[in-house]
Chain A
């Protein structure tokens, strides 16, 4: 925050570097966007298809949902970039707490 240096001081290399970086990021975003649409379609198909029982379809679309959240966070909200460590830490802690709660409810209340 205070002492993060984001450029080298040389405008020439910076520009080139940033161009390349941006192009790469754009490609990633397009790919993940396409994947997300495909995932959503698959989710609808999985639910609609008679051959899958709910015991397969529900966990399956949950997995797809988790992957999509990951895409959203890392490719669209730039969580892999510098300066996002604290939000990442707190989000993962929150996921852990929620997970513990759900696991516990599943195992010792409802089973």
Chain B
């Protein structure tokens, strides 16, 4: 690091991040933006829970509640969970396969900025006449009837950020297929890389249906088409199908990387290799495959008919099998290991039973006949929060603690980390466990208040108290981060002491070229193998040579900004005279920057061999 970490002014750092194409810095951008949206979504959640704490509450109005609820779901899924996982993928996956960057660094930056501007656009709705209010699923009949521009913000914002996600997914796929270090065969890839791979393929196939359906909704709302307008011969059910053809794979896009993170954490702290590696890979691929054949389990009550319902019910239950394989593998990995109870391991061990409960209610919901009872009640709310919070959010929090040293070169405080964990764990179960029963007692989801005397009072209050605990846990986490950044105590390559995969063989944080020499991979858990043979680091697979690096560029930022501008134009085209010109100006900015990118030859630069050697010596002196 030494030569590259000089103190710089704020402006220079900002410019550096605006133009960066380095996967590690893009990861940090994803964490900052995703973390911001996570807090925003969390505040929305708190408003929901305060409103529902007591019957007949008027903390917020009915209309505003709908907006808050919609934005909570949309923000958490699209702008918090996915970007945070993308942060991990960017930060860790290239290091795990021994690559110097992703396959298309420029596209990587573009993906981030598209997500950022899409998310910003969506949230500007709060200040520009009201947020979307038709639920995160935005069912067409409801969203076409919604007045004002709320739904237009949803449509345009998600369209822009969806492009970014799709680009990110394709980029990861190409990286994993083409850029593995010598010896890194598919069946030696760490599980986090595998789950990134499968999740990216799901993105590749699931986002186009979303894009198409959002385009149709956009044309229905803004350009007078009638795809979903029944009165004009359209069909509103098509939206539901498209949305869930995307939506169910989407939940696996979220959970698979989370599985991957836990599959990295557990072997390190159990000091044992992952039990049943190949069955883990098989289960991951199978989940990805089956994930595409079950979407209609969200539509059992639509009236698809008994045959369709039966087929989708059975297919859905089948997914529980590979998921069960994974659960057992994690248990057997920890079993008999010399387990050290670090904060990440706390999250991992708490994840197993918590997620399992979500899986069990999932199978209950998959029973089509029974789902007529559960559907659109708090039972469903409990189910998906158990899988998403108990799975994805636990993975993000545990993974943050686990990979923080690799990303920033310092350690988050373990004691504060455990306080966060226990508060969050308790708050989570307090909030959502009781909601199973609320659902079974008949409390519908997506209602802004309830009446006294229906037996819902106490349970809702308990649920709100739980949510409060989770909020406190998040505050402790933020304090932990601030303290850690302030203290700035540097640590070495392998701070947990038992790192197994390639990322722990290089300095923390990784130098911007990652690997001075590409490492030779001799098996699963390559760094562990070398350590067991008494070596200090990896054996290089190539002589020291010049390294080719891409140049930074502001173009991804400008390209995305253009779409952001034109989205305003599309939306206000009919309201104001300036709409159309703004639409055109935005597109000119985007396509102009694409043209500039295509015409200008950018060959990148080389880090010379001598500089790499210098870097080594300097460190030698300092150490």
Residues of A within 8 A of B (CB): 1-2, 86, 90, 93-94, 97, 100-101, 104-105, 107-109
Contacts and interface: CB of A to CB of B under 8 A. Distances in A.
Interface in B245-268: 245
Contact of B241 (A86, A93, A104): A104
Interface stretch (B112-120, B132-140, B201-209, B570-578): B201-209
Contacts of A105: 238, 241
Contacts of A107: 308
B327 interface: no
Given A86-B177, A94-B205, A108-B308, A101 B238 contact: no
Contacts of A109: 235, 237-238, 241
B300 to A, nearest CB: 12
Contacts, number: 30
Given A2-B182, A90-B204, A109-B235, 4 more contacts: A105-B238, A105-B241, A108-B296, A108-B304
Contacts of A97: 205, 292
11 contacts: A86-B177, A90-B173, A97-B205, A97-B292, A101-B209, A105-B238, A108-B296, A108-B304, A108-B308, A109-B235, A109-B237
Contacts of B241: 101, 104-105, 109
A101 B553 CA distance: 40
A82 to B, nearest CB: 14
Nearest to A97: B205
Q: Looking at chain A's contact residues, is the secondary structure mostly helix, strand, loop, or mixed?
A: helix
Nearest to B245: A101
Contacts of A93: 201, 205
Nearest to A105: B241
A90 B208 CA distance: 14
Nearest to A94: B205
Nearest to A3: B182
Contacts of B178: 1
Interface string B289-309: 000110010000000110010
A93 B288 CA distance: 11
A41 B235 CA distance: 36
A2 B184 CA distance: 10
A107 B293 CA distance: 15
Nearest to B242: A101
A101 to B, nearest CB: 6
Interface string B182-199: 100000000000000000
B526 to A, nearest CB: 15
A100 B178 CA distance: 29
A90 B201 contact: yes
B293 A100 contact: yes
A107 B205 CA distance: 21
A105 B296 CA distance: 11
Contacts of B292: 97, 100
Interface string B153-174: 0000000000000000000010
